[in-house]
Amino acid sequence: MTHRNRNRKEMHMISQTLQKARDFEAQYAPYVPQEERPEFHVTGGIGWINDPNGFSVYKGEYHLFHQYYPYKAVWGPMHWGHLKTRDFIRWERLPVALAPDMPYDKDGCFSGSAIEMPDGRQLLMYTGVREERQEDGSMKPFQTQCLAVGDGVDYEKLDANPVLTAADLPKGGSTEDFRDPKMWREGDCYYAVVGNRPADGSGSILLFRSDDAFHWTYQGRVASNHRQYGMMWECPDYFKLDGKDVLMVSPQEMSPMGLEFHAGNGTVCMIGQENEKKHLIRENVHAIDYGIDFYAPQTLMALDGRRIMIAWLQNWDTARSHPVTDRICGQMTLPRELSIRDGRLIQRPVRELDNYHGEKISYKNVPLSTETFLTGIRGRTIDMTVNVRPANGSVMYHAFKMNLAKDGEHVTTIRFKPGQAIVRVDRSRCGYRFDIVHVREFPVYSRHGCIKLRVVMDKHSLELFVNDGEQAASFVMYTPVSADVISFEAEGELLMDVDKYDLVFDKEDEE
């Protein structure tokens, strides 16, 4: 194969478009002051980011690429930004990996994935987008799947690109919506799932197989939505977890379903068993995240066997502005450890976060009825767990409320009503000045009025984990960081335990 015979110098040929993006990032990223960035959530160097891409292990480290438009804090012709980490918390930024510099991807290097090859190279598979003007003057996108090989820093696109085109689609499959390949190795061969819009205009996930990861053939459909869960399914991921097969997708144009799914762009996980053709027989379907700002999750298998997920901590429907600056827009979620319990996906912050726990402040059996402030319980870069239960076992309280990121003007609230078993997060007064959705309610499992709420805040984000990860809900908070007051309220009488850690990131300097 031609790419095998290339010498090192040729391997690392960098196009003008890529060099321009690298230079731009190198020049302007240093101007983004640390105050404008979260402490431990991934942001782009400069400009806009969306989906995580190529989240994978390479040479003993975890690599993360992302959709990237460095030149402005809005979506534009997509590049791939690049970082790596050893612990999912501290990240090292690497040069921009891919730029839209070939005829088949001139309008964007869309989302995709990465794997480590047995010969030590890293292989990226992404969607190349090329737009062509039609007779009626409109622009029509053509999406194909493309490969690039590299050494963990520099990548060369294959001469054979694109490797999956209209010719590889099942009958009726749209060439305009054919994107986001997620590949993995299984035994002696490779598989990839790719989102596609079938003839009925809805969504389905196609399966491709390869012996060498360079030549791919269509195998069949892993799942189709038949307009049940939105329309086009973006960013699929398909993996084994705790004896189940899990398919995650990010549907466009969802219709709301009770409190489980909201309208617009959502995320869905389907849990079941694959058959011999790798078609998923569903046993349970539920939302992945119940917040406002979560999309396009992607997972990897960590070196110790954990399945870790990261997602874009934002959503197309709500991503209108960045909390602080117009230099950068977008951040990733905290990586989360996944497991399955009672047929549901459980999500917990990666345990590595504990290594950044600073001072702990604990309260036990705090009786709550009026608004209560606890000494030392405040902050915007914190990991806090609150356990709530009725004060008197036989009398149920009516509501528990936690106020976060609060000052005279701002507050974001998390409320739990045991009678309804619903958690409600309201960020209407968080400082966001556009009239979009700011409230989410979701059902939780509460045993006798007991609930455990873990809140991870990193300046402008709030990630909530209910009952050890039974539900997760992610939100961008547009509140100035100076608003760091936390208070608790109850209707009725309850008891509360609080454990709060500051998250501290200068440990290396201290040692």
CB of 405 to ligand FRU, least distance (A): 27
Residue from 50, 333, 461, 474 touching ligand FRU (CB under 6 A): that is 50
Joined tokens for residue 391 = 């004060």
Question: What is the DSSP-derived secondary structure letter of residue 226?
Answer: T
For CA atoms 469, 475, 480, 485, the dihedral sign is negative
Among 101, 180, 245, 274, binds ligand FRU (CB under 6 A): 180
- Strand 47-58 and strand 268-274: the pairing is unpaired
The nearer residue to ligand FRU, 179 or 452, going by C-beta atoms, is 179
Applying CB under 6 A, does 234 fall inside the site for ligand FRU? Answer: yes
* Beta carbon nearer to ligand FRU, 25 or 180: 180
* Binding-site member from 51, 168, 237, 352 for ligand FRU (CB under 6 A): 51
Give the footprint of ligand FRU on residues 394-453 (CB under 6 A).
none
For ligand FRU, give the closer residue by CB, 252 or 381: 252
Residue 111 interacts with ligand FRU (CB under 6 A): yes or no:
yes
- The Cβ-side half-sphere exposure at 499, using a 13 Å CA radius, reads 8
Distance CA 75, CA 73 (A): 7
Judged by CB under 6 A, does residue 127 bind ligand FRU? Answer: yes
The site for ligand FRU, by CB under 6 A, has a size of 13
Cα dihedral sign, 270-271-273-278: positive
Say which amino acid occupies 425. V
Nearest Cα residue to 476 out of 495, 465, 463: 463
d(CA 394, CA 438): 35
Which of 98, 124, 206, 235 is close enough to bind ligand FRU by CB under 6 A? 235
Angstrom distance (rounded) from CA 141 to CA 268: 26
Active-site residue (options: 51, 237, 293, 484): 51
Q: In this structure, are residues 76 and 89 in contact, taking their beta carbons and an 8 Å threshold? A: no
Query: 308 by DSSP, 3-state: which?
Result: strand
Q: Which residue from 43, 56, 67, 487 is in contact with ligand FRU, where contact means CB under 6 A?
A: 67
| CA gap 292, 262 in Å, rounded | 9
Nearest to 183 by CA among 233, 245, 281, 111: 111
Rule CB under 6 A: is residue 78 a binding residue for ligand FRU? yes
Residue closer to ligand FRU (CB basis): 309 or 368 = 309
> Is 317 marked active-site?
no
User: How far is the C-alpha of 341 from the C-alpha of 244, rounded, in Å?
Assistant: 11
The tokens for 200 are 């009925």
- Taking the complex as a whole, the smallest distance from the CB of residue 369 to ligand FRU amounts, in Å, to 45
3-state SS class at 474: strand
- What is the number of the residue whose Cβ is closest to ligand FRU? 110
Contact 339, 241 (CB under 8 A): yes
Question: Would you give the binding string for ligand FRU spanning residues 272-301, x where CB under 6 A is met?
Answer: -----------------------xx-----
By beta-carbon proximity to ligand FRU, the closer residue of 180 and 245 is: 180
Contact with ligand FRU (CB under 6 A) among 179, 262, 322, 406: 179
Q: Which is nearer to ligand FRU, 156 or 234 (CB)?
A: 234
CB of 50 to ligand FRU, least distance (A): 5
Which residues are tagged catalytic? Answer: 51
Contacts with ligand FRU by CB under 6 A lie at: 50-51, 67, 78, 110-111, 127, 179-180, 234-235, 295-296
